[in-house]
Structure 1
Amino acid sequence: MQADECPHATKQAAAADFDFFNSPAEYRRAAAEHARDGAFYSGSGDGFWVFTEYGKICDAFRDEEQFTVERVSAAEGADDERWVPLTIDGGEHAQWRRKLGAWFTPQRVRELQPTIRANAQRRIEALIGRGSASFNEDFARPYVLENLMVAVGWPVDDLDHLLRINLGMIASRYEPDPREAAFHSEVGLPGLDAYVRKNVELRRAEPADDLVTATFDWEIDGVPITDEDRISLLSVLFLAGVDSTVNHMSNAVQHLAHHDEDRARFVADREVRPAAVEEFLRVFSCMYPGRKAARDGAGSVAGHGQTVLLPLALANHDPEVFPDPERVRFEREKNPHIAFGTGHHQCAGAGFARAQLHTALDEWHERIPQYRLPPSADEVPPFLRNAYDLRLVW
């Protein structure tokens, strides 16, 4: 469907054939072209709306009557699966959130903190003498995945296996048919599903003090949860808990590698680091969550059943809320960013992700404060950057 064929798209709001997989910079360029509208429509594929303003995006996240989570992406086939709790609304979602949230409370994150810090220290110490590394693949990805495995209760001995699945799913995005590669490869979703099922059976036979075991006592509306929903939940934790945290971490280090003055300040002043991390989260937000319009006129523009994107990369760069939004400013006084979303579906593991970011950046800059990009550094690929090989030398 082209923009002029959509009954709710206007010529002013149309942006024909805008690609969902465009980079954050491309999203911002398109948003600037339609600044007066607060949204634009793409006729690419089945078409989708893109909201461009902070307030409009926040309102949509919080309004379940106009926008449902039946579709959480504009990628092909995104509405074909039940992902617990991502694609659940209302009271049922609230019950899932309470049960899952109990495992990611501030107190729980504090209890995990010594393990997180020891993980970071061990991995960085092993790299120091090498003089160079891929920040993502030699440090950030195994560090984040191991932290998640500890939090969930997966055996850390399985780290290499889950790393292969994680990297296989990333590679699938560059195949001619990404959906086919992700849904039918042994290192795609089938591999993840098989691993989670195996671990569920292990914990059923050998209970432990972990999240997987706890789910055996969970009920929704007084009914025990099914294994299918249990497996979906645990799979979502893997899918949502690794790449985004790795991206945020590597984006911060990439900025500091390019900006010596900011890096010198980050290294010298531990007090500025918390504000710096929040600014990195804002500036380099790169997720594009979706919703499905539940009625005609949703958000004043979308038609019933249409996909609406709520890009964090646009909300957190709205100049009406964040003056000089492209600039990294550690001293930014007001920073109400939504890097972890907002509303009922705000990331349940936001505190856990922040703890990993703060700890990794602290420990890295205490041990390897001086680093640079090699002359042959690759360009940053578009979209979510999670295949970016951030090479560093020191």
Structure 2
Amino acid sequence: MTDTLAPTTDEASEQHPEYPMPRAARCPFAPPPAMTTLQAEKPISKVRLWDGSSPWLVTRHADQRTLLGDPRISANGSLPGFPHQSPGAREVITRQRTFVNMDDPEHAGIRRMVTAPFAIKRVEAMRPAIQRITDDLIDEMLAGPKPADLVDALALPVPSLVICEFLGVPYEEHEFFQHHSKILVNRTSSAEDVGKAVTALLDYLDDLLTAKLARPADDVLSQLAARVTAGELTRRDAAGMGMLLLSAGHETTANMIALGTVALLENPHQLAAVRAADDPKVVAGAVEELLRYLSITHSGRRRVALEDIEIGGEVIKAGDSMVMPPSVANWDTEVFPEPERLDIHRQSRRHVAFGFGVHQCLGQPLARVELQVVYSTLFRRIPTLRLATDLDRLPFKHDGLIYGVYELPVSW
């Protein structure tokens, strides 16, 4: 499969701005300036993607929530005209559909199979284990050389260890699944490389499901194996759900831990308030504000209209596609005054970092607990933590479907 489609010959399409849009180098946490301008001047407008297609770009917070809650739009990545993020993202859906690219009632039926483990009470019960993991990793980092790479030392292993225990995946295999997951979330990965990564992960998880069928345990893969035995899922679909949970369960949180650390280090007054907080509600509020401020799923949620929809003075026609980036919605001044200011006491819970509607992120309770534990513990235990390089020298993931930093040198 080739990596590009022939660009459209439509003259109007050629005039649409390219998407994704670049961030300003001096403002690595802010949405792209061109997108902020569109939000103020033309909040629903056309852009041009890598394949020459021209979806609607929806930038206002209210419009995104309205559309994401509307059953007349579809997340089905198999539909004609679906605005795939990259050739690789299109290849993932071609190889293995998951419930995130399904519509109700199919979506609800499949998602329900893995909802219970992510219930808030069950996730809260994991807090002591997450605390132990975090403390152990910080112990190791403190005992090691300086400067340290916080990505390798803490940001990546915390969610990887947690999701492995949660799913029933041996952590000893983390280099294997992290390597292939990185290919999946890199916008520049070729369709061929993504296809190989998907196949490798599916085969690996299929083998694990075989083991769980023979020796079930108290983990999510064993629950999926039971669904296979009951005839509710095929082996490959169960492996696909495992792949989704494994990749999403560590990539997003790992990037959020690292990027949130950078944001707090660059805002010392806010960092001091987090460090001094005795009230867990203050730390929880700080996490919500960081989720709003950073919006690491910056490439945007993708949908196709099933019917004509009037919104924001435009008519999105049946068959039209749309892109809804949370980064710009979470900096909408109508909802979050002075959005460029990080304020951990702001009431930020209305952010769309985890989406909205029936496709809201399934793992958000787990992500919240991990972030609360890591931020509160890291800065309390290492009060002198600092960047070991200049902000403008950090390797930000501008080429990623998930935003973050490739490495984060710190010292203390």
TM over 0.5: yes
Instruction: Name the TM-score, length of structure 1 as normaliser.
Output: 0.88
* C-alpha displacement of 1:173: 4.0
**For the structure 1 residues 232 and 298, does the alpha-carbon distance in structure 2 shift closer, same or farther, using more than 3 Å as the test?**
farther
Instruction: Confirm whether residue 202 of structure 1 aligns to residue 211 of structure 2.
Output: yes
The 5 Å alignment of 1:251-330 reads 251-271=259-279, 272-287=282-297, 288-297=300-309, 299=311, 300-330=314-344
The 5 Å alignment of 1:335-346 reads 335-346=349-360
Q: Aligned to 1:332, which of 342, 346, 366?
A: 346
* C-alpha displacement of 1:73: 3.9
Q: Which residue of 2 aligns with 1:380?
A: 396
Q: Which residue of 1 aligns with 2:154?
A: 139
Is contact 2:212–2:225 with CA below 8 Å preserved after alignment?
Answer: no
1:180-200 CA-partner distances (Å, limit 9, x unpaired)? 22222xxx2222122111111
Q: Which residue of 2 aligns with 1:10?
A: none
When the two chains are superposed, the root-mean-square deviation of aligned CA atoms in Å is 2.6
Gaps of 5+ in 1: 7-13
- In 1, the alpha carbon distance for the partners of 2:173 and 2:261 equals 28
Structure 2 residue identity aligned to 1:357: L
Structure 2 residue identity aligned to 1:260: P
Instruction: Confirm whether residue 63 of structure 1 aligns to residue 75 of structure 2.
Output: no
1:80-107 CA-partner distances (Å, limit 9, x unpaired)? 3543211111122212222211011112
Please state whether the residue corresponding to 1:301 is helix, strand or coil: strand
- In 1, the alpha carbon distance for the partners of 2:171 and 2:205 equals 14
- In 1, the alpha carbon distance for the partners of 2:100 and 2:220 equals 18
Q: Which residue of 2 aligns with 1:9?
A: none
**For the structure 1 residues 4 and 270, does the alpha-carbon distance in structure 2 shift closer, same or farther, using more than 3 Å as the test?**
farther
1:160-184 CA-partner distances (Å, limit 9, x unpaired)? 33233334545x5445xx3222222
Aligned residues, how many? 380
Q: Which residue of 2 aligns with 1:42?
A: 47
- In 1, the alpha carbon distance for the partners of 2:118 and 2:290 equals 22
* C-alpha displacement of 1:240: 1.7
**For the structure 1 residues 325 and 255, does the alpha-carbon distance in structure 2 shift closer, same or farther, using more than 3 Å as the test?**
same
- In 2, the alpha carbon distance for the partners of 1:2 and 1:261 equals 52
Is contact 1:61–1:67 with CA below 8 Å preserved after alignment?
Answer: no
Q: Which residue of 2 aligns with 1:118?
A: 132
Q: Aligned to 2:177, which of 139, 162, 167?
A: 162
**For the structure 1 residues 113 and 26, does the alpha-carbon distance in structure 2 shift closer, same or farther, using more than 3 Å as the test?**
closer
The 5 Å alignment of 1:5-44 reads 5=12, 16-20=16-20, 22-23=22-23, 25=30, 27-44=32-49
Is contact 1:72–1:290 with CA below 8 Å preserved after alignment?
Answer: yes
**For the structure 1 residues 4 and 329, does the alpha-carbon distance in structure 2 shift closer, same or farther, using more than 3 Å as the test?**
farther
* C-alpha displacement of 1:273: 1.7
Is contact 2:35–2:328 with CA below 8 Å preserved after alignment?
Answer: no
Is contact 1:109–1:351 with CA below 8 Å preserved after alignment?
Answer: yes
